[in-house]
Chain A
Amino acid sequence: ATESRQGVLVRGRGWKGMVFNTPPNPNPSVILISGSLCGLGPHVSPPLFSPLPEEPQTDIGLPHERLSRAKELKERKRILRENRQNAEMERAARLRTVLIPLEDVRAEWERTSGPFHKQRVAKHCGVFRDLFGGATFTPWVALRVQYSQEDEHLVPVYYGNMVTPSEASSAPAVSYEADKGSLWTLLLTNPDGHLRDADSEYLHWLVTNIPGSDIKAGKEMCHYLPPFPAMGTGYHRFIFLLFKQHGPINFSQDARPTPCYSLKMRTFSTFDFYRKHKDAMTPAGLAFFQCQWDSSVTSTFHQLLNMREPVFEFVRPPTYHPPQVKFPRHQPLRYLDRYRDTQEPTYGIY
């Protein structure tokens, strides 16, 4: 008798006739290979999934001009050569005391590989799939969003960090680099929180025709509504989108009355909104945060939305059992319990 699998003792007869209760393979094209077979060595795992041929994703972002690569490389090589000739740097590296300035690294990262990293994280959080139906863009414009608290504390919004609804109760300070005379649109949407329809979003804030980076000078089509993720529903994404307009656009169709506390009026679809104006604007900036229920959400429901607060409970999907077989091999009597509709156990009753 070797090992026991699901309470059944397997005799040392090999793997013939074993019933493996594995969950259904979501991707039948996966080929499982061990590391040594790949020639990678015993301690290196092979690629965990055989990569599916990815369909080319439509890019709806701004075009990015690359500066001359040769000049950039020459400059970088010069700096690296200087570093290697610097005796202080060599001593600090040898004695392991060197600490690189994180702010400078972050600023340089935002200019170089930041947009690609943000796009990657947003893709994994399903932002492009839910808002744009699969089309992606690289957020070249660095969008800095900060919620200010009463004690002068600032809560920043990066790409996926946690912010509570009480911290996000008032409109944040948004800043980004913009040329003079350019027009922008800022949008805050929640694709997860819709209480009636799973495929639509709630619009929390829409400011259009913003000249440069001055949000106050833009026309506020929909005033700011604090986040209200219902209790028990878990974490919701709240996504800030910055669009660069090619010229002044008439958004009168998307104007909401002030004040607008009707959830029906706040129901929104970024896909339709972008499709309507896609010739006149392109997405340029992205920032999002995850938000969970908080006691301030109760007051938002009661005072602002004037409704009873809905409370939800998580329902687990039923456990998977493979299709029932008439003559199951090496299964205990409780095999029948798994397929019976009523709850009648055949053990523990004596």
Chain B
Amino acid sequence: MCFFNLWWIFVCSPPQGLRFASTTAGLKTETEVDTSENEVVAPNFTNRNPRNLEQMALARKERGWKTTWPKREFWHRLRLERTQHYVEAFVERSNGDVVVSASTREWAIKRHLYSPKGVAACKNLGRVMAQRCLEAGINFVNFKAIIPWEHRCDSIQEFEKAMEEGGVVLHEPRRIYR
């Protein structure tokens, strides 16, 4: 859970002449009671949304782990796992929780493919994964957890191209420190 306290400043001038003009005294007191309490606002605001800080690029990334690989400096990481029989893609957080996943093990994808492994499978998995990431609101993803000599192979290149064409940006913005 990430909380952050906010200070507030009144910036806008109060709206002039926008109150409802009513003839009956009763109606007027109702609208006054209704909306006069709206102005009472707590000075500190807390936003409980766990994704808020990371979407504003203010959340902390785990900056340690400099002597091991892959590093944990990300909010969301895209991991492609190619096993002997299937191809799977996961978008996960630095604590390991999987947020969005797609795999050729799922019936929805498997039924349209001739083989659940291979370059064609990786390419189509990329298209499906890009669609699911955008639907989940994940627009920036870290794709550094691949070994360089594996990164150059056709299937991973096709997967990367499909993700880029799907609209997901494969590098995360830098955290705002100041």
Binding partners A and B: yes
Which residues between 303 and 328 of chain A lie within 8 Å of chain B, taking CB atoms? 303, 305-317
Interface status of A38 (Cβ within 8 A of chain B):
no
Interface status of B111 (Cβ within 8 A of chain A):
yes
Interface status of A47 (Cβ within 8 A of chain B):
yes
Comparing A143-151, A172-180, A226-234, the segment that makes contact with chain B is A226-234
Which residues between 73 and 110 of chain B lie within 8 Å of chain A, taking CB atoms? 93-101, 106-110
Comparing A10-18, A91-99, A330-338, the segment that makes contact with chain B is A91-99
Which single member of B68, B132, B134 contacts A45 (CB below 8 Å)?
B68
Interface status of B119 (Cβ within 8 A of chain A):
yes
How far, in Å, is A48 (CB) from chain B's closest CB?
4
Interface status of A205 (Cβ within 8 A of chain B):
no
How far, in Å, is B132 (CB) from chain A's closest CB?
7
Q: Mark A198-236, 1 if CB is under 8 A from B, else 0.
A: 100000000000000000000000000000001011111
Which residues between 229 and 260 of chain A lie within 8 Å of chain B, taking CB atoms? 230, 232-237, 260
Which single member of B8, B31, B121 contacts A312 (CB below 8 Å)?
B8
Q: How many residues of B contact A (CB 8 A)?
A: 79
Q: Is the CB of A263 within 8 A of B137?
A: no
Q: How far is the CA of A98 from the CA of B56 in the complex (A)?
A: 38
Q: How far is the CA of A236 from the CA of B15 in the complex (A)?
A: 25
Q: How many residues of A contact B (CB 8 A)?
A: 84
How far, in Å, is B64 (CB) from chain A's closest CB?
7
Q: How far is the CA of A305 from the CA of B19 in the complex (A)?
A: 10
Q: How far is the CA of A45 from the CA of B81 in the complex (A)?
A: 13
Q: How far is the CA of A234 from the CA of B50 in the complex (A)?
A: 11
- Contact partners of B72 in chain A: CB under 8 A: 48
Interface status of B26 (Cβ within 8 A of chain A):
no
Q: Is the CB of A192 within 8 A of B98?
A: no
Q: Is the CB of A315 within 8 A of B34?
A: no
Q: How far is the CA of A235 from the CA of B54 in the complex (A)?
A: 10
- Contact partners of B15 in chain A: CB under 8 A: 302-303, 306, 308
Known: A160-B135, A161-B137. A113 touches B6 (CB 8 A): no
- Contact partners of B99 in chain A: CB under 8 A: 120-121, 124
Interface status of B173 (Cβ within 8 A of chain A):
no
- Contact partners of A283 in chain B: CB under 8 A: none
Interface status of A344 (Cβ within 8 A of chain B):
no
Closest A-chain residue to B9, C-beta based?
Answer: A311
Q: How far is the CA of A198 from the CA of B46 in the complex (A)?
A: 6
Q: Is the CB of A108 within 8 A of B111?
A: yes
Q: How far is the CA of A158 from the CA of B133 in the complex (A)?
A: 11
Interface status of A105 (Cβ within 8 A of chain B):
yes
Q: Mark B104-130, 1 if CB is under 8 A from A, else 0.
A: 001111111111001111011001100
- Contact partners of A191 in chain B: CB under 8 A: 48-49
A-B CB contact pairs (8 Å), 7 listed: A43-B69, A49-B96, A105-B112, A113-B108, A130-B48, A192-B47, A315-B4
A residues with a Cβ closer than 8 A to B are: 22, 34-35, 43, 45, 47-49, 51, 76, 79-80, 83-84, 86, 89-90, 92-93, 96-102, 104-106, 108-109, 112-113, 117, 120-121, 124-126, 129-130, 158-162, 191-192, 195-198, 230, 232-237, 260-265, 289-290, 298, 301-303, 305-317
B residues with a Cβ closer than 8 A to A are: 1, 4-15, 18-19, 31, 33-35, 37-42, 45-53, 55-56, 58, 64, 68-70, 72, 93-101, 106-115, 118-121, 123-124, 127-128, 131-132, 134-138, 145, 147, 158
Beyond A105-B128, A160-B135, A303-B15, 13 additional pairs, beta carbon < 8 A: A45-B145, A47-B96, A49-B96, A80-B110, A84-B114, A96-B120, A120-B99, A126-B50, A195-B45, A262-B33, A302-B12, A310-B10, A315-B7
